[in-house]
Amino acid sequence: MTKRIVYPKDGGGIAIITPNPDCGIPYDQIALKDVPVGKPFLIMDTVDVPTDRTFRDAWDADFSNPDGHALGHFAWVETQPKEESESVK
Amino acid sequence: MAGTIIVDRIESDASYASTINVANKITFSNTANFVGAGNVSIGNSNSQAKVHIGSSTTAPGFGTASEMVYNIGANQPEFLVRQTGSSVVCSIAADSTGGYVRTATNHDLRFITNNTNQMNLTAGGLLQFNSGYGSVATAYGCRAWVKFSGISNSIVASGNFSSITDQGTGLYRANFTNNLVDANYAVVTAAQPNGYAGAALGAGGPNGAGDSNTNTYVALECRNYTNNNNEPNELFVAVFR
């Protein structure tokens, strides 16, 4: 089941992230990384996102019980394990 | 007949050549020191270096003014060649994380096929190659690319993009998996029109969502010929830096 990540835009309405399933990063981690810093987000099944985009700019969602709050790209990178390497000298 | 010869010391008059023929093996019970100005060779009778393995003497940079050292460390085996005239050091090594081909000095690493220089990795980190260009010159990499379907809202294929953010009609962010060093990159975009509408993409911004390019995402906007935001059937983005 593919997923979508939804977060509120500053000026109202919502943004919808299509994660790349081949990038090697789990959906929840993509949310923490690619949603703007501090924003609440929801992770939902793709089938739950409307396909009729006629009124796309009027879409909204309930973020009172979010799946998390974003860290942003660089703070997320800091949470990732560092690869140890023996340096050849 | 098997046997053991214990030798404390071998000496010869400088005017005589000395040869010891051993049918099986020589074992050193302590550290073996080969003292003197001569060379040690394996597989040839005309050593061209302090340690010369094999019979070839024609490899580029390998001559009488070179040294060749075969070093086997516990965690880091390394085959190292040093050109003593210029101090260029090149080696092949490995450790527990991977293999290495390198110059250990401030010199380019050159790749040669058909006895012709085809590719360089310069000491400054530039990748140079021919590949039909006509000469070996610096090539600048595509750091990220994506084919995105606006119909199914799905990433068809990509490299170094972890996601696409739909920010509204015709407004997108393409989020890098690994961030770029800065936002001073070039973006090449294309879009397949949706229905009758022409599609055009702007990259750089600020776009209609107030977004500009950063080192973590590309800001995109797609409009039709009436200059209204429009969603393309397919969206193509490539980032060069």
Report CB contact under 8 Å: A25, B161. no
Q: Which of B75-79, B106-110, B205-209, B223-227 has the lowest mean pLDDT?
A: B75-79
Give whichever of A84-88, B15-19, B53-57, B155-159 has the largest mean pLDDT: B155-159
What local confidence, expressed as pLDDT, does residue B75 receive?
A: 62
pLDDT at B57 over 70: no
Report CB contact under 8 Å: A88, B179. no
Between CA B56 and CA B46 the distance in angstroms is 10
Between CA B80 and CA B65 the distance in angstroms is 15
Q: Kindly report the nearest CA distance between residue B215 and chain A, in angstroms.
A: 10
* pLDDT (tens digit per residue) in A33-71: 999 999 999 999 999 998 888 888 899 999 999 999 999
Q: Which residues of B touch A34 (CB under 8 A)?
A: 162-163, 165, 173, 175, 217
B220, B205 Cβ separation under 8 angstroms = no
* pLDDT (tens digit per residue) in B115-155: 999 999 999 999 999 999 999 999 999 999 999 988 778 89
What local confidence, expressed as pLDDT, does residue B195 receive?
A: 65
Report CB contact under 8 Å: A16, B166. yes
Which residue in A has a C-alpha nearest to residue B156's C-alpha? A20
Q: Kindly report the nearest CA distance between residue A75 and chain B, in angstroms.
A: 12
B155 at A interface, C-beta within 8 A: yes
End-to-end CA separation in angstroms for chain A: 47
Number of H helices, E strands in chain A: 2, 4
Q: Kindly report the nearest CA distance between residue B129 and chain A, in angstroms.
A: 26
Report CB contact under 8 Å: B163, A86. no
Of the partner residues A18, A74, A83, the one whose CB lies closest to the CB of residue B163: A18
pLDDT at B3 over 80: no
What local confidence, expressed as pLDDT, does residue B61 receive?
A: 40
Between CA B61 and CA B110 the distance in angstroms is 12
What local confidence, expressed as pLDDT, does residue B12 receive?
A: 58
Please report where in the chains the tokens 């229905």 appear, as a residue. Answer: B195
pLDDT at B205 over 80: no
What local confidence, expressed as pLDDT, does residue B63 receive?
A: 43
Report CB contact under 8 Å: B163, A20. yes
pLDDT at B18 over 70: no
Q: How confident is the model at residue B193 (pLDDT cuts 50, 70, 90)?
A: confident
